[in-house]
Chains A and B, each alone.
Chain A
Amino acid sequence: MSSTTNSPTHHTSTIGAIGAPSRRNTELALLVFAVVIPVFAYANVGLAINDSVPPGLLSYGLGLGLLAGVGHLVVRKFAPYADPLMLPIATLLNGLGLVVIWRLDQSKRLSNYAEAAPRQLLYSALGVALLAAVLIFLKDHRVLQRYTYISMAGALFLLILPLVPGLGANIYGAKIWIKIPGLGTLQPGEFAKIVLAVFFAGYLMVKRDALALASRRFMGLYLPRGRDLGPILVVWVISILILVFETDLGTSLLFFGMFVIMLYVATERTSWIVFGLLMSAVGAVSVASFEPHIQTRVQAWLDPAREFKLSRSGIQDGVVHSEQAMQALWAFGSGGTLGTGLGQGNSDLIGFAANSDFILATFGEELGLAGVMAILLLYGLIVERGVRTALAARDPFGKLLAVGLSGAFGLQVFVVAGGVMGLIPLTGMTLPFVAYGGSSVIANWALIGILLRISDTARRPAPAPAGNPDAEMTQVVRPS
């Protein structure tokens, strides 16, 4: 970024302003790989299971190619300076997810999943459509700033929806879905994640000075004033309420974690992180002490083999014992370093949610350690490109929104992948782009859309120096 102290006419000293490459051709080249790799994987599954190239290969390839192509053209036209990596990585993950969902459709053990892959392709198309809509209609992400408090109301509304009697659906202990007659179920929490990030960004941008500066120093930490604690307390209470009423540890952790990250970035005060950790620990422990659903999850995490035996023994002690944690670990272990090859594993032994919450176990068994590490690194790349976008953004709202969205994305990956791999207790959440579930895939495409918009704004060359309200830019002006 060029310094505003340089005269705009003094060409030799401006560095960033001239000809910042749009990188659209890089994106296109990467997209070719992102489409070709899943197509090969698709053929691989068909050959492994039915000894023939699957008949749907062409339409699948065309479908994925079309999604990538539309996404690319929209970005090229409406966000030409956007980050070149996010769209290809998201397409690749989405494509591989579709392959594995289709592979699990073929499972004889899981006959109830028969038609998940075509539906997921439809959801992906809706997701890319939403991404296009975001890029076309949201010319500047700062517009979102205007809707700070409407966002708050919207997010609360979305979060309360599953608790409305007659609308909410309790599926295997977690009440995070709503039923829409004729369309299936929807997970409002996935959308609430984005709306809430908009609210946090708008709110913190305004309040960050008060939160950062008005504080007392105590034992090396800057303690916030009592009244400034208000917002974090409200968010904390909401998270706890989600935990109690929707029994969803994952979403609760995700929202609270996202807020703490954004608060820390806005105020640069480490004390907020300490507070955040303390509060989430207190909240989680106290809720877990009386919520049997969460207690079983913790027990299954500490000793999955025992939980497997309890589940098999058919013991009736008032809680639902699940063998899934153990089954997932066996799937990973049986995959080993290189995996069994697509279509040749037995990850469908996991049963319920094998193609959504547990889908990473299928990657683990069939693509092995190598495949899972590649997937995890792809997620890492998306997150780091998101934080990179935040660094490059010129306005605090954009910075906060970008870091909030990518931080939430990273936390979600950590919570679900860590849960399936037994690193942390298992919570019902979907692996972004890969897991089966319309809400998740649509919401995450929208999330990528917003990140692309922010990065486009950030990398766009030569912003008019005059009248720039950007606080960050004025800080750069220093006598050298």
Chain B
Amino acid sequence: MNKPLRRIAIFCGLLVLALLIRDNWIQYVQADELRTDKNNRRVIIERYASPRGDIIVDGKPITGSKETSGSDFKWKRTYKDGAMWAPVTGYASQAFGATQLENLEDGILTGNDDRLFFRNTLDMLTGKKQEGGNVVTTLNGAAQKAAYDGLKRQGGKGAVAAIEPSTGKILALASYPSYDPSSFAGNSTTTDTKAWQKLLKKNNPDDPTLNRALRETYPPGSTFKVLTAAAALEDGLYTDADQNTKTPLPWTMPGTTTPLKNEGNIPCKNATLRAALQYSCNTVFGKIGSDLGNEKMLAMAKKFGFTEEHFTPVRANASVFGDDMNPSETALSSIGQFNTAATPLQMAMVASAVANDGTLMKPYMVDELQARSVDTIEKTEPEELSKPMSSDNAQILQSMMETVVQKGTGTNAQIPGVTVGGKTGTAQHGVDNKENPYAWFISYAKGEDGSSPVAVAVVIEDDKAVRDDISGGGLAAPIARNVMEAVIKSKK
């Protein structure tokens, strides 16, 4: 009987071996995959197991953590001025997940990031609890407040994006209406779930959780003429701001019998580029677009950052400029209508490239990642995205935009003692243009040394907006001015 007994011994050994192999498979080979599975509740338990690191603006945290009881989540996120900062922070909710910086920098904020491994090991040995690191943003608190308060006073939907042209640092990123991420940070089915339900688009047509500064594209209207002017200068179609553009009035779009209309009776016949921008002549810029053609206009739009998503690291939607268009469609697109659509961030990038003498910097909002002990783990260095125009042409364009603010449609953006360049815009949309138009303003401020501390784009959707170019100057320009002023003051 001993021979089969030995075989049974081997068989039992094989059973144990199979278990050991399986154990190695799930606890070693597949361990990371299982541990980080999004349905594995441990992921969120860990996210809230210790106080999260903070998101920092101007050296002060705009977030906090509160100890809670009654569930397996120990800490809850809190926000200071949550509604104002929501387009930057996103939210971290025990019940509804995390978005934007709270999601993208989760590793640093919870302290689980691999770059904190050494410190965590040290903490473990010295018996300290693991702590999350901080995310230091590039934002400017005063500018953000000016932007948000301006939108709030206006009351309609809208967004503001402000950039430091020389670096690409995002200074303000506001969206209205907004939401307070504190209101659903916990996991109570009575309070948090109700607050969350109220914010959902199906229950709230205003869609307050939409980050309009990055995720909504609007037809940019006349503000797009800045880009068209840049294309004309770069192409050599015109070489000077004060050169006669030889544009007839009325001007009929090629291939059609429809004349392109101007808003009101403005002096656009044979206008100079400067005057065309000052009065916002559709005829002049429509003709430039159709003269340059779809390809050249699209190439220039791409150089300014259109047609691709930008990661700040929070994703900004791609802005649109059509391709495969006929000359009349290109003409309409070149004055910011037809298919053209841009995020507020994109239009701020256009203004910032002009202000930075033709160099477009990559926009970013995370300056530094820090360990809790304020050691820098990673610092973002400014990075050139593209050079859409020569600095000579950029300066020509600057002088044109400054004329707009001095005596054109953008006088509301004037700041005493500061050179400001800008461009208004009013974009019609909807079937037969029945919906409320969008009032736009893009601008930059320039210091005495010629460098620019801030470029800003403001868009407002409001039924009070009148259907002419003045509304961009009337509604959006004052907000842009306040944001620019706030940045200049905080620099002093």
Whole-angstrom distance from the CB of A402 to the nearest CB of chain B? Answer: 9
Specify which chain A residues have a CB less than 8 angstroms from the CB of B384 in the assembled complex: none
Nearest CB of B to A178, in Å: 30
Q: Give, as a whole number of angstroms, the nearest-CB distance from A141 to chain B.
A: 16
Given contact pairs A391-B2, A399-B1, A422-B26, A333 touches B9 in the complex (Cβ within 8 A): no
A242 interfacial contact with B, CB 8 Å: no
Q: Which of B93-120 contact A (CB under 8 A)?
A: none
List A385-423 residues whose CB lies under 8 Å from chain B. Answer: 387-388, 390-391, 396, 399-400, 403, 406-407, 410-411, 413-414, 417-418, 421-423
**Chain A residues with a Cβ closer than 8 Å to the other chain, count:** 52
Contact mask B383-415 → A, CB, 8 Å, 1/0?
000000000000000000000000000000000
Main DSSP-derived SS at the A contact region? helix
The residues of B that contact A403 with a CB separation of less than 8 Å are 5, 8
Contact pick for A261, options B8, B26, B45, CB 8 Å: B8
Determine if A376 and B16 form an interchain contact, defined as CB atoms under 8 angstroms apart. yes
- Closest Cβ neighbor of A272 among chain B residues: B4
A302 interface hit (Cβ, 8 Å): no
Q: How far is the CA of A373 from the CA of B12 in the complex (A)?
A: 15
CB distance from A301 to the nearest CB of B (A): 12
Q: B199 to nearest A CB, angstroms?
A: 23
* Smallest CB separation, A30 vs chain B (Å): 20
Q: Is B26 touching A268 in the complex (CB atoms < 8 A)?
A: no
User: Is A61 interfacial (CB 8 A cutoff)?
Assistant: no
Instruction: For A472, list chain B residues within 8 Å (CB).
Output: 1
Query: What are the residues of chain B within 8 A of A330 when measuring CB–CB?
Result: 34-35, 37, 40, 42
**Min distance, Cβ A354 to any Cβ of chain B, angstroms:** 14
Interface string of B1-32 (1 = CB under 8 A from A): 11111111101110110111011101110111
| B39 sits at the interface (CB 8 A) | yes
From the candidates B4, B5, B31, B72, name the one contacting A333 in the complex (CB within 8 A).
B31
Question: Residue B324 at the A interface, CB < 8 A?
Answer: no
Is B41 an interface residue when CB atoms closer than 8 A count as contact? yes
Instruction: Check if A108 sits within 8 Å of B72, measured CB to CB.
Output: yes
Taking CB atoms, residues of chain B closer than 8 Å to A399 are 1, 5
Residue among A349, A384, A396 making CB contact with B9, cutoff 8 Å: A384
Q: How many residues on chain B are close to A (CB under 8 Å)?
A: 36
Q: How far, in whole Å, are A370 and B372 apart by their CA atoms in the complex?
A: 33
B449 within 8 A of A: no
Within 8 A of B (CB), among A358-402: 364, 368-369, 372-373, 376-377, 379-380, 383-384, 387-388, 390-391, 396, 399-400
Residue B33 at the A interface, CB < 8 A? yes
A334 with B34: CB separation less than 8 A: yes
Interface string of B168-196 (1 = CB under 8 A from A): 00000000000000000000000000000
Do residues A346 and B39 form an inter-chain contact, with CB atoms below 8 A? no
Chain A residues 314-341 with CB under 8 Å of chain B are: 326, 329-330, 332-337
In the complex, the answer to whether A368 meets B27 with C-beta atoms within 8 Å is: yes
Q: Are B1 and A421 in contact (CB under 8 A)?
A: no
Distance of A396 Cα from B42 Cα, bound (Å): 53
Question: Quick check: A369 and B4 within 8 Å, CB to CB?
Answer: no
Q: Per a CB cutoff under 8 Å, which of A266, A305, A346, A384 touches B13? A: A384
Say yes or no: A373-B20 contact (C-beta < 8 A), given A268-B1, A368-B27, A387-B5.
yes
Chain A residues with Cβ below 8 Å from B3 are: 268
Please, how many angstroms separate the alpha-carbon atoms of A136 and B126 in the complex? 54
Q: How far is the CB of A62 from chain B (nearest CB, A)?
A: 31
* Contact indicator A265/B35 (Cβ below 8 Å): no
Number of interchain pairs (Cβ within 8 Å): 134
How far is the CB of A205 from the nearest CB of chain B, in Å? 10
> How far apart are the CA atoms of A418 and B2 in the complex, in Å?
28
Does chain B have a CB within 8 A of A264? yes
A308 proximal to B (CB < 8 A): yes
Smallest CB separation, B62 vs chain A (Å): 31
**How far, in angstroms, from A329 to B5 measured CA to CA in the complex?**
35
Whether A346 pairs with B41 at a CB distance below 8 angstroms is yes
Q: Please state if B12 and A407 are interface contacts (CB–CB under 8 Å).
A: yes
- The reply to whether A336 and B20 contact each other, CB–CB distance below 8 Å, is no
Does A109 sit at the interface, judged by CB under 8 A? yes
Q: Residue of A at shortest CB range from B18?
A: A423
- Are A377 and B72 touching (Cβ within 8 A)? no
A411 to chain B: closest residue by CB: B15
Most chain A beta-carbon neighbours within 10 Å: one of B8, B28, B35, B39: B8
Cα separation A332 to B30 with both chains bound (whole Å): 10
Contacts of B35 in A (CB 8 A): 330, 333-334, 336
Chain A residues whose C-beta falls within 8 Å of the C-beta of B23 in the assembled complex: 332, 364, 369, 372-373, 376, 421
Question: How far is it, in angstroms, between the C-alpha of A194 and the C-alpha of B480 when the chains are bound?
Answer: 86
Identity of the chain B residue whose Cβ is nearest the Cβ of A399 in the assembled complex:
B1
Docked CA distance A268–B7 (Å): 10
CB distance B5 to A418 under 8 Å? no
Q: How far is the CB of A105 from chain B (nearest CB, A)?
A: 17
* Given A391-B5, A422-B22, residue A333 in contact with residue B34 (CB < 8 A): yes
Residues of A within 8 A of B39 (CB): 305, 308-309, 326
The one of B4, B6, B7, B16 in contact with A380, judged by C-beta atoms closer than 8 angstroms, is B16
**Given known A333-B33, A334-B40, A414-B15, contact A423–B8 (CB-CB < 8 A):** no
Report B-chain residues with C-beta under 8 Å of the C-beta of A369. 23-24, 27-28, 31
Task: Kindly provide the distance from the CB of B121 to the nearest chain A CB, expressed in whole angstroms.
Answer: 13
Asked whether A335 lies within 8 Å of B8 as measured between CB atoms, the reply is: no
Contact A333 B8 (CB under 8 A): no
With CB as the reference atom, state the residue of chain B lying closest to A262: B8
CB neighbours (8 Å) of A332 from chain B are 23, 26-27, 31, 34
Pair B16/A377 contact, Cβ less than 8 Å:
yes
Tell me which residues across on chain B come within 8 A of A380, comparing CB atoms. 12-13, 16
Interface string of A222-266 (1 = CB under 8 A from B): 000000000000000000000000000000000000000100111
Closest 5 CB pairs of A and B: A333-B34, A380-B16, A369-B27, A387-B9, A423-B22
* 25 A-B pairs (CB sep. < 8 Å): A108-B72, A109-B72, A264-B4, A265-B8, A266-B1, A329-B26, A330-B42, A332-B27, A332-B31, A333-B30, A333-B34, A333-B35, A334-B35, A335-B27, A337-B27, A369-B24, A373-B20, A373-B24, A376-B23, A387-B12, A400-B1, A414-B18, A418-B18, A422-B22, A423-B22
Given A268-B1, A330-B34, A334-B35, 8 extra CB contacts under 8 A: A330-B40, A333-B30, A346-B41, A372-B23, A384-B12, A391-B5, A414-B19, A422-B26
